Structure 1
Amino acid sequence: MNRLRDLLLGAKFALTGGREGWTRTLMTAVGVGLGVALLLATTALPGALSARDARDNARNDYGAGQQEAPAAADTMLIARTDTVFDGDDIRGRLVQPEGDRAPVPPGLSALPAPGTMVVSPELRELLRSPGGKLLRERVPYKITGTIGDAGLLGPHELAYYAGSDSLTGHKALTSDRVDVERIKSFPDKKPGEPIDPILALLIVIIFVVLLLPVAVFIAAAVRFGGDRRDKRLAALRLVGADSTMTRWIAAGEALAGSLLGLGLGTVFFLIARQYVGEVTIARLNVFPSDLDPSAALALLVGVAVPAAAVGVTLFALRGVVIEPLGVVRTSVPRPRRLWWRLLLPVVGLGLLIPMFDKGRDTGFYNQGQVIGGTVLLLIGVTALLPWLIETVVRRLGGGGVGWQLAVRRLQLNSGAAARLVNGIAVAVAGAIALQMLFSGIEGDYVTSSGEDTTRAQMVVPVTSNLSKAEQQRREENLRAVPGVTGTTTLGNVGLHTKATNPEDQKYVEMAVGDCRALREVGDLPSCKDGDVFVATGGEFGWDGATAGTKLLFEAAWVGDRRGPEIPYTVPRDARTVPARVDPLGTKRGGLLVTPGAMRKFTNVPVSYTTYVTTRPGDGLVADRVLNTAWRADPFTRARVLNDVKTATKFAGVRRGLYIGAAAVLMLIGTSLLVSMLEQLRERKRLLSSLVAFGTRRTTLSWSVLWQTAVPVTLGLTLATGVGLGLGAVLLRMVGHPIHVDWPSVAGMVGIGGAVVLLVTALSLPPLWRLMRPDGLRTE
């Protein structure tokens, strides 16, 4: 009961201590509030991503096909016309209702009429902007409405639903390339593959690395105004309070600031949430309504922050002797002990080492053990940094006046300098460890696509059943696009051996093209029109065809049924050549045939693929090619080739990291600024005294800069060592060799240093305002 009374008395002092007390409490509240806002955002992030996935699931049209079912009042034809513009994905759908009860996608009140479309707000703005001119050629429908939030992943998604009256018919529904389906509803997606143990470990580490700097900063924020608080505590001892009571009163002051910080943090969060829809990080954005913290997690934050404020204050005062005439802390302090500070990372290593070489094949990692070991290693930074700063600055001396003022200040109160740097040091250490882990496992999730972007930059598949003249006309149109430097077209035909039992049939691929085109798929010694080659060493299909082998062309569709199979015999003069990987990364075997050898087979359906090479540096050529391909075929699947492909789940985790890192970086910068302003306010009278005695303002400015630069340099050095150690441990845990990406490490350290330099620059104007003789005035 006495402790509660002391806490309430301390809270009263914090709230009724005049302008000085209010200022101190407000600084603490702002610092705590910034941390609380980020904690609330973090607790809301899983729910936001779940809401985003739920909307994606609700509009899902994959797996809903009903091609075999007849048209009915409750069916609709839907064609996927996704495309890309200026590197951004655009989700497109053509819809055609087959009855008055056709399903309506989420976000739409009714299906659009033929020739019109309903678009997302972002796509509407893009189409209306001067930069959307090229896209308007590819999406030429009249805009008649806007897709509601329920039909979009986020406020910045580019999407449209366009009405059509040309999807009915055999060709659209049976094409092997055009994705047109008859659907009755939008079914739930099937559960995806479960996340693997290494990605689960990565997610846990990300949360620890992003949240720990926030906790460190909140712990530092509740200790704002430490010097002035010591004077108040000494005065309390003078009027009769014992040492235990004074500590609990100090905890009550911190409790009041933290409770006010909870309120401010909630306000900060609600304000920031209104603008979250305007922010896109790594192509991911959410609606403000999605950012709704879990009640249980929000309650945990509400309880943990005040409890941490009381605990940190009592812990900080554990070795301080408060007497009526002053605080012993102001005398020469006893050197800090090192042994227990080293114990934290050692215990952390002890928790993580048993999981070495576990990999992904032995099940999931013990999350409690991972969190405990990682937290102890990173907390080791905050424990070791005060000792390191004290040890180093004790040996510093000499130099100019500004340097000497800074060194003396650090020697007198190195703890305050450590608290200023702790947050950024922990963040940098965690970032280095994460970067090492990402670099180590990236090869498992970011792999080569096999596509050769040095031979072609785009691919334009073309429908079958085209006349040779039409195919040539389309290729000429592509070749005429500004920025296109060349095209290569290959046809593809399917054949199979004749067999009584279909299971015994052997399937053979036939590539059709001129000699230049065939050299993309085979190493030809010499070639002229009319030649036929047998490519060996292919990755799929039957590799046993030789000169004289009898085959049958795959039957073509005639109306609503297949036509007869046409016989084909491999010519006696066909030469055998080794197969070559094509620009799409496929090593096709089978037959390579020039057009002259196919003149007798005019009724054989050939599907064509055109490889397009473009001029480097032309950012619009891809969109011009896509427009040309769309004019020839609105269902085109033309696309840009990519060297690599990234696993979807890994890409999602990486996007989440970018979002969290950006938020934490903003918090760290803001919190450093608040911390620095608080320390300057604490030294207001001292700075005014020095100026009144004739000290130059530039000298004091350099003094403040050195007081920041020395702890930051030591903190970043320590963070680099701990980050490299943690990164090495994590790599051993996932069974990967230890490798350090030094440019990335330098980048992490550079970002941390740049944030501190920026904050220091922003603190100079307030510093100059404080360096006035009227700062000596007192009430």
Structure 2
Amino acid sequence: MIRLGLRLALASGREAVVRLAVIAVAVALGVGLLLAALAGINAVNAQNSRYAWLNSGLVEQPTGPRAADPIWWALRDDVFHGDRIGRLDVATTGPDAPALPGITHVPGPGEYFASPALSELLRTHPAVELADRFPGREVGTIGDAALPSPDSLLIVVGRTPDEVSQVRGATQVASVLTTDPSECDRCVIGIGTEGISVVLGVVAGALIVPVLILIGTATRLAAARREQRFAAMRLVGATPRQISVISAVESTVAAVTGAVAGIGLFFAFRSALAMIPFTGERFYPGDLSLGLVEVLLVVLGVPLGAAVVARFALRRVQISPLGVTRRVTPRPPQAWRLILLVAGVAELLYFVGRRPGTTNGQIMAYMSGFVLIMIGLVVAGPWLTLVGSRILARRARHAAAIIAGRRLADNPQAGFRAVSGLMLALFVTSVATGVMTTMVAERGAPRSGSVMGSVLSHTFWPEDGDAPSVAQIPAGLASVPGVVAIQPVYANPQQRSTPDNPDWLPGLIRCADLARSPELGRCAPGADVAYVYTDLVGLRRASDDPPVWSAAPVEAASVQALPLLSVVVETDGSTAAIERSRTLLEAAFPNTRFPSTVAELEGDFRRTLVQWQQLANVVIVASLAIAGCSLAVSVVGGLTERKRPFSMLRLTGVRIGLLRRVVVLESAVPMLFVAVLAIGMGFLAAQLFLTSQLDYTLRAPGVGYYAAVSAGLVASLAIIASTLPLLRRITGPETARNE
């Protein structure tokens, strides 16, 4: 039977080869996507583990072997051209200091090691903008073992113990931490791998569902002809078990071929996958690794699923050899099919105001609601198609619409099957776009503009007694091209903890100084000193008018005796002016937090949102592409199954143009009908999630979303149109004669 099954699968003509090829492509996509998702989770964990050593000075030192001579350790964030630089100042206290990963030795005073990406920046930019921040010379590059990503900007600067001990937050490290940040309660540097792994799992699920639909659609290609062939074999004495073996061989050949191709797809695109910054930074290609167990589960699981689908598609032959001929119009679907769809919406609605308290509880609550809605859409699809077909038939004004409406009403399951993948793709697209658009609008919208991106603020800690004086502000700062004004802000000794009174603001500024920077605001009439924010910006947005700062009951002459809270440098917004000013401030105040603009401080979360939006775009494009393949296979399969009745209609005088309109209407009507439903349900699910989890109101997507959806629908219509030339070839008189 196995040999016969192979012969039927590989030597039954072009139709069998095309069917096997389509199934193999579908399986390859499924295997490739699942392997990519599993490798992505492994890559996140691998990247996270290389953050571990940076937490050494930020958490309590673990028990265990320690070096006899600890290292003075001070880790801080710097910025260059909007990108974060990790700067680690170190100093050894003796010859037995612990070794640091990625470098040959702990740098001494006047030495530093830089990551390859930062080393390149040091070579290609003027020293007054970057290199002058780091005393000494570069003695080597940091190896991959200490870098989370090829793009990581990291520098290890050697200084004396006295110098490092004066840095705010400096500590002594006797052993380098190796605990994964995701397993360390007090670690502050690293990735929350659990959430990202869940998101990658959700992405894989969102992509694999359309792939499974494509596999099922491809398996049913020419199902009627195969059922007739198997039924004939039953009539001549073949047992149900033998038929099962033959059908399983056909499916296994395609599934195994697809699994091997899927593995090849993954390794072919692994380098490209490593470029996608799921965590904010690229991966090393080697991080996208796979374990033997993971490969076996995917390579065996996906083909097994394809075989099960094939067995289910041909189940009628297993019942009786006459089951194929005893066909009647299936019972029309009933409205009870809406139950799961309503249940999914009801679950999301229930959690509005009742958000679970734990992260895992929230994931289970919302994901189960989304999955219920997706299953509900698939279950309710045939009934919705039936409703659409009846509307089409009722409002028909020509023969094509009447025929298409009646045929859809006779078998709405088959009509919906062709567009089910597209419906799920549009649902996933609408949910992802709705959530990300709203989050960007509420939390990530950039406060761009001259004030937000051109004002550089360097803050000190006067409460610790280490605030510098105005005299320490570098004189060369005023001569930097592009610097408009330098504003010293003094600490408010009467600062309140709540904004009930105007004196709650932390800073004071002399109105004579502020007059040089009208863009940063002005004092209230008659005031000599005003209350201000540390950076002179605070909660202001770019579209707001310059503020009027409240008067402070302090004499201008006495303000300069107060501790310096910050230095605010107003520039013309040019990159050179900002970076040169930053370098001068860092060189003048090397032991404090490094200066930054408002836009830079707010940029991390915004970049994260943009990266998740990119991930959502990958899901959107892939889902629509897979759905388009399912639609093409389904339309071609439908034409193949109906070539005899179409041929008979042509023999009775029906024109080919009328048949083409029938085919278009049979596919386009359910497609557009379920598209509207899927988009509406996607936005409803996004709204319920946003209201429950974040207390946000859904924001309308931008033009890009509507353009993508329109392009997807137009492409789907083009796919349908591309199959129409096949209609003339398969509905000639010879088809009716040969059948």
Instruction: Give the shorter-chain TM-score range.
Output: 0.7 to 0.9
Unaligned runs of 5+ in 2: 62-66, 496-503, 540-548
Q: What residue number does 2:333 align with?
A: 337
Pick one of 662, 668, 676 that aligns with 1:717: 676
CA distance in 2: counterparts of 1:96 and 1:152, whole angstroms: 21
Q: What residue number does 2:545 align with?
A: none
Deviation at 1:637, TM superposition (A): 0.8
Give per-residue Cα distances to partners, 1:278-333, cap 9 Å, x unaligned.
3335733222332334666555544543443244334445579999899569x894
CA distance in 2: counterparts of 1:705 and 1:743, whole angstroms: 30
Unaligned runs of 5+ in 1: 67-71, 497-506, 534-576
Native 8 Å contact 2:404 2:666 kept in 1: yes
Partner AA of 1:169 in structure 2: D
Native 8 Å contact 2:423 2:674 kept in 1: yes
Q: What residue number does 1:173 align with?
A: 165
Question: Are 2:370 and 1:380 equivalent residues in the alignment?
Answer: no
CA distance in 1: counterparts of 2:353 and 2:39, whole angstroms: 34
Partner AA of 1:183 in structure 2: V
Pick one of 636, 639, 650 that aligns with 2:596: 639
Native 8 Å contact 1:127 1:135 kept in 2: yes
CA distance in 2: counterparts of 1:234 and 1:272, whole angstroms: 41
Q: What residue number does 1:273 align with?
A: 270
TM-aligned CA distance change 1:446 to 1:674, over 3 Å? closer
CA distance in 2: counterparts of 1:249 and 1:411, whole angstroms: 34
Deviation at 1:719, TM superposition (A): 0.7
CA distance in 2: counterparts of 1:387 and 1:344, whole angstroms: 13
> How do residues 338-737 of structure 1 correspond to structure 2 at under 5 angstroms?
338-349=334-345, 355-361=351-357, 365=361, 371-389=367-385, 391-393=387-389, 395=392, 418-433=416-431, 453=451, 457-461=455-459, 468=470, 470-471=472-473, 473-477=475-479, 480-482=480-482, 484-492=483-491, 511=508, 513=510, 515-517=512-514, 525-527=525-527, 583=536, 585=538, 592-594=554-556, 596-597=557-558, 606-607=563-564, 609-615=566-572, 618=574, 621-630=577-586, 632-633=588-589, 637-642=594-599, 657-658=612-613, 660-672=615-627, 674-675=629-630, 678=633, 710-730=669-689, 734=693, 736=695
Q: What residue number does 2:306 align with?
A: 309
Question: Are 2:708 and 1:754 equivalent residues in the alignment?
Answer: no
CA distance in 2: counterparts of 1:132 and 1:418, whole angstroms: 65
TM-aligned CA distance change 1:175 to 1:337, over 3 Å? closer
Deviation at 1:350, TM superposition (A): 6.0
TM-aligned CA distance change 1:578 to 1:126, over 3 Å? closer
Alignment RMSD, CA only? 5.6
Question: Are 2:701 and 1:743 equivalent residues in the alignment?
Answer: yes
- Tell which deviates more after alignment, 397-406 or 435-444: 397-406
TM-aligned CA distance change 1:708 to 1:721, over 3 Å? same
Q: What residue number does 1:221 align with?
A: 215
Q: What residue number does 2:101 align with?
A: 106
SS of 1:224's equivalent in the other structure is helix
Question: Are 2:143 and 1:151 equivalent residues in the alignment?
Answer: no
TM-aligned CA distance change 1:774 to 1:227, over 3 Å? closer
TM-aligned CA distance change 1:697 to 1:638, over 3 Å? farther
> How do residues 86-235 of structure 1 correspond to structure 2 at under 5 angstroms?
86-112=81-107, 117-127=112-122, 135=130, 143-162=138-157, 164-165=158-159, 167-169=160-162, 172-174=164-166, 176=168, 180-187=170-177, 188=179, 190-192=184-186, 207-208=201-202, 211-224=205-218, 226-235=220-229
| Number of residue pairs the alignment of both structures matches | 684
TM-aligned CA distance change 1:393 to 1:664, over 3 Å? same
Deviation at 1:717, TM superposition (A): 0.8
Q: Percent identity?
A: 23
SS of 2:282's equivalent in the other structure is coil
Give per-residue Cα distances to partners, 1:532-565, cap 9 Å, x unaligned.
x7xxxxxxxxxxxxxxxxxxxxxxxxxxxxxxxx
- Tell which deviates more after alignment, 302-311 or 317-326: 317-326
- Tell which deviates more after alignment, 287-296 or 133-142: 133-142
Q: What residue number does 1:83 align with?
A: 78
SS of 1:34's equivalent in the other structure is helix
Q: What residue number does 1:264 align with?
A: 261
Native 8 Å contact 1:41 1:293 kept in 2: no
Native 8 Å contact 1:352 1:729 kept in 2: yes
More helix by share: 2
Native 8 Å contact 1:452 1:585 kept in 2: no
> How do residues 54-93 of structure 1 correspond to structure 2 at under 5 angstroms?
54-63=49-58, 74-80=69-75, 82-93=77-88
Question: Are 2:268 and 1:284 equivalent residues in the alignment?
Answer: no
Native 8 Å contact 2:356 2:362 kept in 1: no
CA distance in 2: counterparts of 1:110 and 1:262, whole angstroms: 47
Q: What residue number does 1:26 align with?
A: 21
- Tell which deviates more after alignment, 46-55 or 200-209: 200-209
Partner AA of 1:526 in structure 2: G
SS of 2:113's equivalent in the other structure is strand
TM-aligned CA distance change 1:47 to 1:225, over 3 Å? closer
Q: What residue number does 2:37 align with?
A: 42
Partner AA of 1:259 in structure 2: V
CA distance in 2: counterparts of 1:419 and 1:610, whole angstroms: 66
Partner AA of 2:152 in structure 1: E
Native 8 Å contact 2:71 2:91 kept in 1: yes
Native 8 Å contact 2:58 2:187 kept in 1: no
Deviation at 1:218, TM superposition (A): 1.8
Partner AA of 1:31 in structure 2: A
TM-aligned CA distance change 1:285 to 1:230, over 3 Å? same
CA distance in 2: counterparts of 1:65 and 1:726, whole angstroms: 44
Partner AA of 1:432 in structure 2: S
TM-aligned CA distance change 1:132 to 1:52, over 3 Å? farther
TM-aligned CA distance change 1:444 to 1:512, over 3 Å? closer
Q: What residue number does 1:540 align with?
A: none
TM-aligned CA distance change 1:339 to 1:250, over 3 Å? farther
In the superposition, the TM-score normalised over structure 1's length comes to 0.69
SS of 2:277's equivalent in the other structure is coil
Deviation at 1:24, TM superposition (A): 1.9
Native 8 Å contact 2:437 2:701 kept in 1: no
